[in-house]
Structure 1
Amino acid sequence: MLRNALFVALISFGISAQAKTDDAPKPAPLLGFKVIQTLPHDSAHYTEGLVFYKGKLLESAGEYGESALYEKDLKTGKTLRSRTIEPQFFAEGLAVAHDRIVQLTWRENTAFVYDLAFNPLGTLNYNTEGWGLASFNNDQELVMSDGSPILRFIDGSDYHFLRQITVRDGDKEIMRLNELEEANGFIYANVWLTDKIAVIDPADGRVVNWLDLSRLQTLFKKPAKWNELDNVLNGIAYDTRTGHFYVTGKRWPALFEIKIDPPQRRH
């Protein structure tokens, strides 16, 4: 059994004021993207985490009484494997490091750890809310969001806290950072309540680019009881083999394979 660990340190959330100058940086520019194909996605799933790992598409679905971990067939959207979560837990972000799956929960301060066959290995505890999670630096680290502008980096093996960054676009702190993905050294973060993704430099937390994926919602028929405020983009996975991303949203009936223009670090 995996030893229970406290992997997020007690941290002050005090933020020092930034002096305003006439040379304030401009907001990060938009990146372009191209839709490669549209694939089916189960609209019953309240998507909170999406991972493409060794050819497998893994998904964490949330809501109390509905939370689960899934392995999905990419082409058909059908469930190949699943594990339900006890109803008192609201499942959130998902990542894989060292062939172990880590699944956060929202307000329960608990993460579940599984092997690749979804067998439980143990639990981890943390003292923030759990929102998004992604592997980073070739599985040496995990990066975690909690809805604030802060991203925390955690050791990918024993889960102890390493460091944190505050995400800013210019002088503006970016709130509601949610589902996360790493690709080519950048962190991609869904911003809750929007269909936008921030592309973040992990060295200093600066947003180098934005992705506005709102037009994707025009490419599928909305299911019954669609909620414009709630059913937003939240799910991004990167396929290292093709360099393409897979994105979807909460209760979306479609999963999109997209090609994103490469981001650039700003100096």
Structure 2
Amino acid sequence: MRHDLPMRPIADFVPSSRFSGPSRPSRSRRRPSRFGRTAGVVGPATLAAVLAFTAACSSDAVDSAGSGDVQETSANSEMGSIDGGSLSTAGPNAGSVGSGNSGSADGLGQGGAAQPDTTGEVEVVRELGHDSAAFTQGLEMRDGELYESTGDYGTSWVSARPLDSGPTDYRVKTDPLPGREFGEGMTITGNTLWQLTWKDGIAYKRDATTLEETGRAEYDGEGWGLCTMGDQLVMSDGSNKLTLRDPETFEPTGEINVALGAKGVDNLNELDCSDGRIYANVWMTDRIVRIDPSSGEVDAQWDLGELQQPRPSDPDAVLNGIAKVPGSDTFIVTGKLWPNMYEVRLK
């Protein structure tokens, strides 16, 4: 099966202006709101002044950058931060973690200024089966096998199977994490597989072949997506900040603040590091963005909304999961609880 999905204008990707108002939408019934911001009440006497001010300028909320804590290794080194192409020491994140006031969880280049047209085309090469019980949090390809990590309480596992096998013909699959832990993204570096947890602050270190646990590391904040970029790991936490980490100790070594034009791109989720770029699912959207790690700029994005139609009825069954097929120009993509995966070209 091969067909091209239609292009959509960049305006479709830009939600309304950001504000530090009500709590952002709940991530799902499984994942409650991460940020408990509450809106202040603006009285009628000041409404005109507020409207005049917001018409003249806009401001982004500030999110403090957290440092990690690794078992047996203290995270006491100074971290660097890539923001708009400059390197600075660790400090407050210049990007916002707020959501738009339209109720959308889309964090792509929010704001009134015109954004660069970075929209690409999606070519579907073929459709593959996928375990519809898998609440997909991470995908990665290695030696012809598809590795997948899943989430939800009591069903968070890691598995590996040949790409062209049946959707549940696993070569190896771990036992679920303890019921109180919610699994997240994963990546392979050398013969090590790292598996994140959402709010537990634990990264599981596993043998990449057997998936047996070989160690653990601790980190601050939330874990969402993870990928390997050269000699470092890249981790997302649901904001516009990506944290660089040491592949051996999981100690944080730097940050990348991601933006489209002048605006931060929030809700970065599952990651894939390929061809010198970082690909990221944007949570609760049908979008994948490509990030230049040297500057943090989004230089391309794709709309995959035509895939897996009709969607499963579960509201959590959103696009999530991207893995480059080694030696090719294609990616494997899927979603949480989807019965299908797709091999696609992102053009």
Q: TM-score, normalised on structure 2?
A: 0.67
Within 1, Cα distance between the matches of 2:75 and 2:322?
24
Q: Does 1:32 align with 2:121?
A: yes
Distance 2:284 2:156 in 1: 20
| Structure 2 residue 197 is the aligned partner of structure 1 residue 108 | no
DSSP 3-state at the match of 2:152: coil
Which 5+ residue runs of structure 2 have no aligned equivalent?
1-69, 80-89, 97-112
Q: For residues 79-138 of structure 1, what are the alpha-carbon distances to aligned partners after superposition, in whole Å with 9 as ceiling and x for unaligned?
A: 22110211111000110012100000000000100002111101010001000000102x
Shift of 1:15: 2.3
Among 321, 325, 328, the alignment partner of 1:242 is 328
Aligned partners of 2:76, 2:284: CA distance in 1, in Å?
26
Check the 8 A contact 2:94/2:257 in 1, yes or no.
Answer: no
1:185-241 Cα distance to aligned partner (Å, 9 max, x none): 1100000000101110000110001111111122xx544xx12x4211100001122
**Counterpart among 182, 189, 203 of residue 90 in structure 1:** 182
Contact kept in structure 2, 1:46 and 1:62, CA below 8 Å: yes
SS in 2 for 1:215: coil
User: For the residues of structure 1 that align with 2:76 and 2:328, how far apart are their CA atoms?
Assistant: 34
Partners of 1:101 and 1:3 lie apart in 2 by 17
Moved more, 116-125 or 74-83: 74-83
1:183 lines up with 2:274 in the alignment: yes
Checking the alignment, whether the CA contact within 8 Å between 2:95 and 2:241 is kept in structure 1 is no
Partner of 2:167: 77
Counterpart contact for 2:308–2:340, Cα < 8 Å: no
The structure that is strand-richer by fraction is 1
Distance, in Å, in 2 between the alignment partners of 1:152 and 1:43 is: 31
The answer on 1:15 being equivalent to 2:99 is no
Query: In 1, Cα distance between the equivalents of 2:249 and 2:263?
Result: 33
Count of matched residue pairs: 247
Taking only aligned residues, the RMSD between alpha carbons, in angstroms, comes to 2.1
Code of the aligned partner of 1:151:
L
CA displacement at 1:25 relative to structure 2: 6.4
Report the AA paired with residue 47 of structure 1.
Answer: T
Number of the residue aligned with 2:26: none
- Structure number with bigger Rg: 2
Greater mean deviation of Cα atoms: 113-122 or 158-167: 158-167
Q: Alignment identity in percent?
A: 36
Give the 3 Å change call, closer, same or farther, for CA 46–6 of structure 1 in structure 2: farther
Contact in 1 for aligned 2:144/2:162 (Cα 8 Å): no
Q: Cα–Cα, structure 1 residues 217 and 6, in superposed 2: closer, same or farther, change >3 Å?
A: farther
TM-score, normalising length: structure 1:
0.86
Aligned position for 1:119: 212
- Say which SS state the counterpart of residue 39 (structure 1) adopts: strand
What is the CA–CA distance in structure 2 between the aligned matches of 1:8 and 1:107, rounded to whole Å? 22
Letter matched to residue 259 of structure 1:
R
Select the residue among 22, 32, 43 that pairs with 2:132.
43
Hey, what does 2:38 align to over in structure 1? none
Looking at structure 2, the residues matched to 54 and 16 of structure 1 have their Cα atoms a distance apart, in angstroms, of 37
